[in-house]
Amino acid sequence: MHDFNYHRAKTTAEAVALLENEDAKAIAGGMSLLPTLKLRLARYADLVDLKPISELSGISRNDNSITIGAMTRHAVVAASDVVQEAIPALSVLAGGIGDPLVRNRGTIGGSIANADPAADYPSSVLGLNATVITHTREIEGEEFFQGLFETALNPGEIITAVRFPIPKRAGYFKFPHPASRFCLVGVFVAQTETGVRVAVTGAAPSVFRFTAAEQALATNFSAAALEGVTLEPEGLNSDIHASAEYRAHVVEVLTRRATERALSA
Amino acid sequence: MPRVTMTVNGVARSAEVENRTLLVQFLRDHLRLTGTHVGCDTTQCGACVVHLDGVGVKSCTVLAVACEGSTVTTIEGLADGDHLHPMQEAFHQNHGLQCGFCTPGMIMSAVDMVRRNGYDLDEHTIRKQLDGNICRCTGYHNIVLAIIAGAAAMRPE
Amino acid sequence: MHGPATSARIGQPVTRKEDRRFVTGEGHYADDFNFENQTYAIMVRSPHAHANIVSIDASEALAVPGVLAVLTGADFIADGLLPVPNKTFSMHPAEIPLVNTDGTPAFNVPDYPMPADKARFVGEPLVMVIAESIAAAKDGADLVHIEYEPLPCVTFTVDAADLDAPRVRDENTSNVCIDAVIGEPDPTEESFRNAAHIAKVKTWIPRVTGSPMEPRGAVGTYDPKTGQYTVYTSSGSTLRLRRDLSLVLNVPEPHVRLVIKDVGGNFGTRGAIFAEQPLVAWAAKRVGRPVKWTSERSELLLSDYQGRDLAVEAELALDKDGTFLAMRGSNVGNLGSHTGNFSMVQKGVEIMSSIYRMPSAFFRVRAVLSHTAPTRPYRSSGRPEVMYVMERLIDIAAKQGGFDRAELRLRNLVSQNELPYKNPFGLVYDSGDYIGVMHRTLKLADWEGFPARKAEARTRGKYRGMGLANYVDTATGIPREKARITVHPDGTTDLIIGTISNGQGHETSFAQLVHDWLSVPFEKVKLITGDTDIVDVGGGAHSGRGMRLGSIVIWEAVNRIIEKGKQVVGLLLQKDAAAIKFADGDFFADGNQVMSLIDVATAMNSRTDLPQEFRGPLAGECDQTIMEAGFPYGSHACEVEIDIELGTVEIVRHTAIDDVGRAVNPLIIHGQTHGGIAQGVGQALLEQVYYDASNGQMLAGSFMDYAMPRADMLPFYTTDISEIPSTTHPLGIRPAGEGGTTPALGVVINAIVDALSEFGVEHMEMPATPERIWRAIHGKPQRSRMVPDTVEQDFSLA
């Protein structure tokens, strides 16, 4: 990896100031950023470590949402009683990211900001239409992911928390990649006050909504309602591990299974 | 170059490192604690697992400078003098190792598993929780048996 | 000889002596060697599968602070260094030689560690950058500018055999290095004409890689005063590697010292010299400082020796009762870009018929070069591939002819009274109870209870299948091996031996032999290996030869110590040495204990009244080889459950019985079997070194894409040992080690095909990924394993 200047930010304001340099990059858990740097796929003049900023960690709940600080580790989310009670699917999702050692280190903010097409969290952000809170504004989950490793974040903008509305029910089902253990496909199904959302990760260059399934589930939230609901393979990822056609099929199956999980939760 | 100081296996250790120095490089190259291994470059194999402030991490994916003031335990610091840690003893008794290269990471990961999941570990839990550690020799059979035994032996009297 | 009454004797599941250093982090692998003032090397590797090297510009790299040297293949040649010679065939007398049909010698060329002319696979090392730090070397490597002239390439085995394919070596007229036939054509054809059933399979066993968890690494030093090179590394062999290093460095063997401590896995793919080992030695001489190189996993996936990669078209003829009449076919093995080792095709074809009675057989065998990383023996080289073919043929024949799969096997297994049995390729199997072991496996695996388990699985929505597979393995074990044992007056017993452990636990199992035979304390037996200043003869642990050959030389060395002891006792007590007996660590004369082994060692070390030849250390040595082959065999069963919606497979039971002849340490043997099974399952379900045939790029270049088996996809295995002594080994050892892997490909695939039989699935290619299974269930065309996003093409080996 190329060398860089390293800064420990103690407050969000300090981090924001340090990130004004356009060659600077925020580092959270480092589980995505450091492998990228090690392979020399990216280089930055400055790394700004957000870890010391205590205000960015923690989980809180109000009547209809839970808010997870950006620097909250996956393991903490997975084990949180608050999350398990309010959105058990989110706990399941966090508990299946990477492996336990990665979950001890990786953070929700880091995962979302990186927008890896095979990451787990984006499906929950889109599937629950969570609100991504940054130091300057709030971004709808709907608007946040904009493509392969692309988000609505402006340069230097720091995610401080993610606010998840508490759904009536939700389910997550992951088909792990045989080598990387990222998502070959992951499907997050949620029934909320505003309707049904089905978000799919791993299958395409960016997380997306499976609208045909949403429509089918809107009138009848059951796996049976998904009979005959199909996803076109066009535009889906195809690689040595799975073709677009197979991924489309897996999305269909996982949507049913995630729905069943939502109903059994 | 910045100087980083941390407590490693109970001893304050300090060295000048580059900012890009990884925790595993600090341990292996600067402190010559070569029990922590590097088996891959994509944060998958788990040969490099150490405990950072009491929590298992893959030291190939942590910056040394980010560990300033932290407490690190490596495989070299697990035993109590000549008395092996129960998990080390369990790996030995159950033949949970062959070439030994993945073993330090396996043991450190297993101890962290006990921290997370308790002393009563069943086969299913262990296999699921061991997906961050790769072994090419043992087929995992005896590693799983070792962790069942080691976890039970770690239960305080 | 009774031996000591301890729990460390031969046959006991002794926990390992070496474990303590491994569980405490005191293991010492290649990257743990460090020297004052050492420098670091980084290799610049070819991004092309095939390209002329037009020019190399190192000027920018040399300007990077900390960069000390940039070395190329041209420098290597200019310094008078030589290419690595290849020893293509096993020359063991028990093996069946392969000879070109047209009488010409097999094509074989040596390989430069860094070629100066051409790159012949993606990942081939072309330039070496030496610097003060790894980071500086990497910075320099980024600035080495190599101008390439890309050339057409061929990667897929069958394509490479085409006489018009792009050639890897200009010196040859094609990529075919050997084109041989083996067996008897006429009786084979006659049997096929008379057959009631003919089962056919056409298959490609894809390329995989050994992936020991320890990365490759080496440190080279050079002493200009003595002209001595020293290479500190990790390898499957010591003395063969030292010899190869001396040939490449172009110095006499004593000018190279090799030091190996712990070896973090081998599996065959770390058994041979690799490019960077001589390069660090040479570079150390060039820069005048130690040079250290440690690979990263991504480099390893491109440039480690790889394994398997065999295309087979085979047929089995049966009479109406299911008796095997003959088999025939054609095998093409992919050597990659070097003529490194033909064992995959040689060791493969000579046991195609496994342990079944096969009156005749005839096969064509080719080994071909391609623009891919070199292949070498990998975990039971050649045998898992052909056992898979044979066991697939049997299941296909059973389905075709309506035979029970177990009965068809039992009917055709060679019976105990037919042994020794000469198979149709000429190999002579020594001994065993093939039928008895298969019966035991059927019982242990509860073959009878399978229908009930299958029905129960269906209530959970799972499709359950069970597969069976028998196997045989050949253990030959050249080169020669040497042991020297010294008993010291304090009871410490040194065992110096050439072969080196790569995780097999020699410190323990060899100590058990010495302990059992000499009654010296088990804890006091010290194994010394891995340093050519100390060991001078011996090979690796390949072909199961570690214990098979190690035990013989240890046995003989022990006997020489005892003989010497008897003579010393005779001299000291004025008795007839021939009448003195040795038992349990003591010498007896006229039925009375007169001296202990330690007494003798003490006397020899201290008494000045002994003749010169009996003064000094009490030591014995033996240096020999074994000219007969041993044949480990066994019978495995596997059960899978398939989620037919997704195509995912769960291995729910795996049962293995392996006949090892004589088990020295069952704990270690079971461990070897477990690991072997996992490697076989990995190949059957997950792993592939995926070369894109359209451009030669390797698409599984890290553990993000090369799928390694993990704990959560494997079950507890049920393993048992059979001990019918091998008749070609004085102690009956066959040995163990490859039993897990050899039948695993076949038994897993047979189980999957069985589970899917009601969908009309008759065969499944590897790796049996969920998508492949899903496509098979739905009769969809399979996707190519050679070119992404294309449909799998049929091939012909005619």
Contact across the interface for C23 and B123, Cβ inside 8 Å: no
Contact across the interface for B97 and C26, Cβ inside 8 Å: no
Q: What is the mean pLDDT of residues C461-479?
A: 91
Q: In b/e form, how buried is each residue of A156-195, taking b as 16+ CB within 10 angstroms?
A: bbbbbbbbbbbbebbbbbbbbbbbbbbbbbbbbbbbbeee
pLDDT at residue number C662: 96
pLDDT at residue number C167: 98
- Structure confidence by residue, pLDDT tens digits, C759-779: 999 999 999 999 999 999 999
Contact across the interface for A179 and C298, Cβ inside 8 Å: no
Residue numbers in A near C645 (CB within 8 A): 253
Does residue C453 surpass a pLDDT of 90?
Answer: yes
Residue numbers in C near A39 (CB within 8 A): 298
Chain C 571-610, CB below 8 Å of chain B: which residues? none
- Integer-rounded Cα radius of gyration of chain A: 18
Q: For B107, name the nearest residue in chain C, comparing CA atoms only.
A: C23
Helix (H) or strand (E) holding C589: strand C586-589
Do the Cβ atoms of B28 and B15 come closer than 8 Å? no
Contact across the interface for C704 and B44, Cβ inside 8 Å: yes
Does residue C440 surpass a pLDDT of 60?
Answer: yes
Rounded Cα distance, C734 and C416, in Å: 16
Pairing of strands A159-165, A131-134: antiparallel
Q: Is the dihedral of CA C227, C501, C661, C652 positive or negative?
A: negative
Q: Which of A39, A177, A239, A246 is the best mutation test for C, with the most CBs of C within 10 A?
A: A246
Residue numbers in B near C19 (CB within 8 A): 91-92, 97, 100
Q: What percent of chain C has pLDDT over 70?
A: 99
- Report helix, strand or coil for C154: coil
pLDDT at residue number C542: 76
Pairing of strands A46-49, A5-8: parallel
Q: What percent of chain B has pLDDT over 70?
A: 100
User: Residue C517: which residues within 8 A CB-CB, separation 6 or more?
Assistant: C1, C3, C554, C555, C558
Which among B41, B43, B116 is the nearest to A102, CB-wise? B43
C794 contacts chain A (CB < 8 A):
no
User: Residue A6: which residues within 8 A CB-CB, separation 6 or more?
Assistant: A46, A47, A49, B2, B19, B63, B65, B66
Q: For A180, name the nearest residue in chain C, comparing CA atoms only.
A: C704
Helix (H) or strand (E) holding A144: helix A141-144
Structure tokens that stand for A128 in this block: 């629950």
Residue found by looking up tokens 């030994």 in the block:
B100
Rounded Cα distance, C619 and C557, in Å: 8
pLDDT at residue number A196: 98
Distances, alpha carbon C658 to alpha carbons C110, C529, C549, C651, C742, in Å: 38, 29, 19, 20, 11
Report ipTM (2 d.p.).
0.98
Which among C296, C298, C675 is the nearest to B138, CB-wise? C675
C254: which DSSP letter? G
Rounded Cα distance, C460 and C462, in Å: 6
Smallest CA-to-CA distance from C739 within C478, C387, C413 is with C387
Rounded Cα distance, A248 and C595, in Å: 80
Do the Cβ atoms of B64 and B18 come closer than 8 Å? no
Does residue C193 surpass a pLDDT of 80?
Answer: yes
Rounded Cα distance, C527 and A201, in Å: 54
Contact across the interface for A243 and C700, Cβ inside 8 Å: no
Rounded Cα distance, B59 and B54, in Å: 13
Q: Which of B101, B124, B128 is the best mutation test for C, with the most CBs of C within 10 A?
A: B101
- Report helix, strand or coil for C103: coil
Contact across the interface for C142 and A243, Cβ inside 8 Å: no
C21 contacts chain B (CB < 8 A):
yes
Do the Cβ atoms of B56 and B41 come closer than 8 Å? no
Do the Cβ atoms of C394 and C324 come closer than 8 Å? no
C307: which DSSP letter? E
Chain C 622-661, CB below 8 Å of chain A: which residues? 645-646
Residue numbers in C near B121 (CB within 8 A): none
User: Residue A252: which residues within 8 A CB-CB, separation 6 or more?
Assistant: A213, A226, A229, A230, A231
* Residue A42 burial (10 A CB sphere; 0-12, 13-18, 19+): exposed
pLDDT band at residue C538 under the 50/70/90 scheme:
confident
Least confident of B1-15, C85-99, C257-271, C705-719: C85-99
Rounded Cα distance, C469 and C635, in Å: 6
Which among A38, A100, A104 is the nearest to B41, CB-wise? A38
Residue C491, amino acid? G
pLDDT at residue number C476: 81
User: Residue C245: which residues within 8 A CB-CB, separation 6 or more?
Assistant: C229, C231, C256, C258, C273, C277, C278, C281
Residue found by looking up tokens 């101008």 in the block:
C147
Do the Cβ atoms of B34 and C25 come closer than 8 Å? yes
DSSP assignment string, C7-72? TTSTTS-PPPTTHHHHHTT----GGG---TT-EEEEEEE-SSSSEEEEEEE-HHHHTSTTEEEEEE
C209 contacts chain B (CB < 8 A):
no
Alpha-carbon gap: C755 to the closest alpha carbon of chain A (Å) = 21
Q: What is the mean pLDDT of residues C311-326?
A: 98
pLDDT at residue number C498: 92
Q: What is the mean pLDDT of residues C612-623?
A: 95
Smallest CA-to-CA distance from A44 within B19, B22, C64, B62 is with B19
Q: Is the dihedral of CA A125, A130, A131, A133 positive or negative?
A: negative
Q: Which of A27, A73, A101, A174 is the best mutation test for B, with the most CBs of B within 10 A?
A: A101
Which among A179, A238, A249 is the nearest to C703, CB-wise? A179
Structure tokens that stand for A80 in this block: 């949180």
Residue C663, amino acid? A
Q: For B32, name the nearest residue in chain C, comparing CA atoms only.
A: C32
Rounded Cα distance, C482 and C484, in Å: 7
Work out how many CB contacts closer than 8 A connect A with B. 81
Smallest CA-to-CA distance from A208 within A109, A110, A142 is with A142
Q: What is the mean pLDDT of residues C701-719?
A: 98
Which alpha helices (DSSP H) does C460-606 contain, by range? 506-518, 545-573, 597-606
Which among A2, A3, A240 is the nearest to C699, CB-wise? A240
Rounded Cα distance, C454 and C431, in Å: 36
pLDDT at residue number C798: 82
Query: How many other β-carbons are positioned within 10 Å of the β-carbon of residue C479?
Result: 18
3-state secondary structure chain B: CCEEEEEECCEEEEEECCCCCEHHHHHHHHCCCCCCCCCCCCCCCCCCEEEECCEEEEHHHCEHHHHCCCEEECHHHCCECCECCHHHHHHHHCCCCCCCCCHHHHHHHHHHHHHHHCCCCCHHHHHHHCCCCCCCCCCCHHHHHHHHHHHHHHCCC
Q: What is the mean pLDDT of residues C131-141?
A: 96
Does residue C540 surpass a pLDDT of 90?
Answer: no
Does residue C541 surpass a pLDDT of 80?
Answer: no
Alpha-carbon gap: B102 to the closest alpha carbon of chain C (Å) = 7
Contact across the interface for B19 and A100, Cβ inside 8 Å: no
Structure tokens that stand for C583 in this block: 């038992």
pLDDT at residue number C91: 75
C791 contacts chain A (CB < 8 A):
no
Smallest CA-to-CA distance from C378 within C268, C475, C263, C236 is with C268
Query: Prior bond to C451 cis, omega within 30?
Result: no
Q: Which of A38, A99, A184, A240 is the best mutation test for C, with the most CBs of C within 10 A?
A: A240
Q: Which residues of A make CB contacts under 8 Å with C? A: 1-3, 39-40, 175, 178-180, 238-243, 246, 249-250, 253
Does residue B125 surpass a pLDDT of 60?
Answer: yes
Contact across the interface for C645 and A3, Cβ inside 8 Å: no
Work out how many CB contacts closer than 8 A connect B with C. 183
pLDDT at residue number C2: 62
User: Residue C174: which residues within 8 A CB-CB, separation 6 or more?
Assistant: C162, C163, C164, C165, C167
Which among A180, A238, A250 is the nearest to C789, CB-wise? A238
Contact across the interface for A179 and C707, Cβ inside 8 Å: yes
- Structure confidence by residue, pLDDT tens digits, C170-187: 999 999 999 999 999 999
Rounded Cα distance, C731 and C729, in Å: 5
Residue numbers in B near C717 (CB within 8 A): 139, 141
The sheet with strand C145-150 has its strands ordered as: C118-119, C51-57, C145-150
* Sequence-distant contacts of A135-138: CB under 8 A, at least 24 apart: A135/A12, A135/A16, A135/A160, A138/A163
pLDDT at residue number C625: 83
Smallest CA-to-CA distance from C16 within C665, C520, C661 is with C665
Rounded Cα distance, A78 and A91, in Å: 4
Query: Prior bond to C743 cis, omega within 30?
Result: no
Return per-residue pLDDT of chain A as tens, 265 residues: 999 999 999 999 999 999 999 899 999 999 999 999 999 999 999 999 999 999 999 999 999 999 999 999 999 999 999 999 999 999 999 999 999 999 999 999 999 999 999 999 999 999 999 999 999 999 999 999 999 999 999 999 999 999 999 999 999 999 999 999 999 999 999 999 889 999 999 999 999 999 999 999 999 999 999 999 999 999 999 999 999 999 999 999 999 999 999 999 7
Which among B42, B43, B57 is the nearest to A104, CB-wise? B57
**Cα angle at C141 between C136 and C142, to 5 degrees?**
100
Which among B22, B43, B116 is the nearest to A100, CB-wise? B116
Do the Cβ atoms of C21 and B34 come closer than 8 Å? no
Does residue B130 surpass a pLDDT of 90?
Answer: yes
Q: What are phi and psi of C701, to 5 degrees?
A: -90, 10
Contact across the interface for B112 and A104, Cβ inside 8 Å: yes
Query: How many other β-carbons are positioned within 10 Å of the β-carbon of residue A229?
Result: 17
Structure tokens that stand for B142 in this block: 């005896």
- Structure confidence by residue, pLDDT tens digits, B1-48: 899 999 999 999 999 999 999 999 999 999 999 999 999 999 999 999
